[in-house]
Amino acid sequence: MSTKRLTMVESLNLALFEEMRRDPNVLVLGEDVGVNGGVFRVTKDLIKEFGADRSVDTPLAEEAIIGASFGLAVYGKRPVCEIQFDGFIFEGFDQIESHMRRIRMRSRGSFTCPMVLRAPCGGGIRALEHHNESAEMLYCHIPGVVVVMPSGPRNARALLKASIRSNDPVIFFEPKAIYRSIREDIPVDHDEVAPLGKAHIARPGSQFTVITYGPMLKVTMDALKKRIEEKNWDPEVIDLLTLSPLDNETILESVKKTGRVVIVHEAPRTGGIAAEIIARINEFAFFNLQAPIERVTGWDTPYPFFARELTYIPDAPRIMNAIENVLKY
């Protein structure tokens, strides 16, 4: 098996190349995705191999990008549209809420919407206003769409491939804070496709459970490293990967094993995925708990301008503090 060490930008780019080669119905569209290869270069050079008809620079119009992707999808193509930043999906939010998620149900399966909407998300790169939010929960509240967020180059490739092959519409969030900061070995000659709707146990353990996803996985793992090495901590870390529909089973099994849970996410606190997970644990595993669940989250404020963003994003001290609370209970 040969591998290549790639960043997430590169592995996503690879996944697009692979899927476009595999299926002539796959095309990418969006602002600056063609000649420029995307502002983050995720669609780089696709235009060279597949031409301007399959790597399409559209006018600056998110509603048309998302709505036309819906049209392409119900027609029988497999569009992968890029919205330049998740903060600009809102121009086309209507299409997601009113059409993408409903067409299967309201046509009794006559139509499906096999499209992927890709967008960079999250903060931490001292970007301009509207380029930092973690708004994934808005989409988790829309039954009918699948919401995915990878946490590293390898699962990014495997999840994007799965998303493109999915017959349900997928909102695919790419945490830009880790677009280029992590490299991983990618099994390039292996068609690795990750199952959607399945969480991954990033580190098996028995002492307590940390549930997280996306950019916070690395922050969490880095925070835990020293304690694991020096204090023999034995955490189980769950990487959600798909935020909706949520993988109950992996979460509940872990809770039953450890009885102690910390949930970490960058998105605002109220209505964050932690709230949903806590509700489900309450429904299905309440009596397995040995301590109240802690959550470490972004705050219930708009994301501050970048000078103050360090106060907003969960970091190692905040995560450690929560874990200690759960352990000493």
Partner 1 sequence: MPKGTITLESIETLSILDEHGHVDEKLLPKLTPEELLKAYRFMLFGRRLDEQAMRYQRQGRIGTFGPNIGQEAAQVGSAMALADQDWFIPSFRELGVWLWRGLSTQAYFMGHMGFEDASTNLKGAGNLPMAVPVATQCCHAAGIAWGIKIDKKKAAAVVYFGDGATSEGSFHEALNFCGTMHLPAVFFCQNNQWAISTPLKKQTASGSLAQKAVAYGVKGVQVDGNDVFAVYVAAQEALERARNGKGATLIEALTFRKSVHTTADDPTVYRTIEEERLWESKDPLSRFKKYLESKNFLNEKKNHELEEKIAQEIKQGYEKAEEFRNSNPDPLSYFDYVYERMPAYLQWQKETAQSQCMGRNMIKGATEAAVAGSGAAAVGQLEEAAD
Give the distance between the most distant pair of CA atoms in the chain: 60
Determine if 226 is a binding residue for partner 1 (CB under 8 A): no
Q: Which stretch binds ligand TPP (CB under 6 A): 14-22, 84-92, 166-174, 295-303?
A: 84-92
Determine if 97 is a binding residue for partner 1 (CB under 8 A): no
Binding residue for partner 1, selected from 131, 157, 161, 260, defined by CB under 8 A: 131
Kindly state the smallest distance separating residue 34's Cβ from ligand TPP, in Å: 13
Kindly state the smallest distance separating residue 216's Cβ from ligand TPP, in Å: 25
Q: Is 99 noted as a catalytic residue in this protein? A: no
Binding residue for partner 1, selected from 49, 129, 185, 283, defined by CB under 8 A: 129
Binding residue for ligand TPP, selected from 57, 63, 91, 192, defined by CB under 6 A: 91
Determine if 181 is a binding residue for partner 1 (CB under 8 A): yes
What distance in Å separates the CA atoms of residue 33 and residue 143, rounded to the nearest whole number? Answer: 29
> What sections of the chain are H helices per DSSP?
8-22, 46-50, 62-75, 93-95, 103-106, 136-140, 153-165, 215-231, 248-258, 273-284, 316-328
Kindly state the smallest distance separating residue 283's Cβ from partner 1, in Å: 23
Site track 160-179 with partner 1 (rule: CB under 8 A), x = hit = ----------------xx-x
State whether residue 318 is helix, strand or coil: helix
Cβ closest to ligand TPP, residue 36 vs residue 206: 36
Chain centroid to Cα 93, Å, comes to 18
Chain centroid to Cα 70, Å, comes to 21
Amino acid letter for position 259: G
Question: Measuring CA to CA, which residue among 142, 123, 160 is closest to residue 15?
Answer: 160
Residue 307 binding target from partner 1, ligand TPP, none, CB below 5 to 8 Å by type: partner 1
Catalytic residue among 131, 141, 190, 200: 131
Binding residue for partner 1, selected from 53, 232, 307, 328, defined by CB under 8 A: 307
Kindly state the smallest distance separating residue 88's Cβ from ligand TPP, in Å: 4
Going from the C-alpha of 151 to that of each of 93, 208, 214, 265, the distances in angstroms are: 25, 21, 4, 12
Kindly state the smallest distance separating residue 36's Cβ from ligand TPP, in Å: 11
Determine if 125 is a binding residue for partner 1 (CB under 8 A): yes
Q: Which residues neighbour 288 within 8 Å (Cβ) at sequence distance 6 or greater?
A: 255, 256, 259
Amino acid letter for position 288: N
Residues in 26-45 that interact with partner 1 by CB under 8 A: 31-32, 35-37, 39-41
Tokens of residue 242, six digits: 């798909």
CB closest to ligand TPP, residue no: 88
- Classify burial at 317, counting beta carbons within 10 Å of its beta carbon; exposed 0-12, middle 13-18, buried 19 or more: exposed
Q: At CB < 8 A and 24+ separation, what contacts does 278-285 make?
A: 280/246, 280/248, 280/251, 280/252, 281/251, 281/252, 281/255, 284/248, 284/252, 285/252, 285/255, 285/256
Tokens of residue 3, six digits: 């591998």
Residue numbers at the binding site for ligand TPP (CB under 6 A): 31, 60, 62, 84, 88, 91
What are the residues binding partner 1 (CB under 8 A)? 31-32, 35-37, 39-41, 57-64, 84-85, 87-88, 90-91, 124-131, 176-177, 179-181, 269-270, 299-302, 304-311, 315-318, 321
Hey, which residues are catalytic here?
A: 131
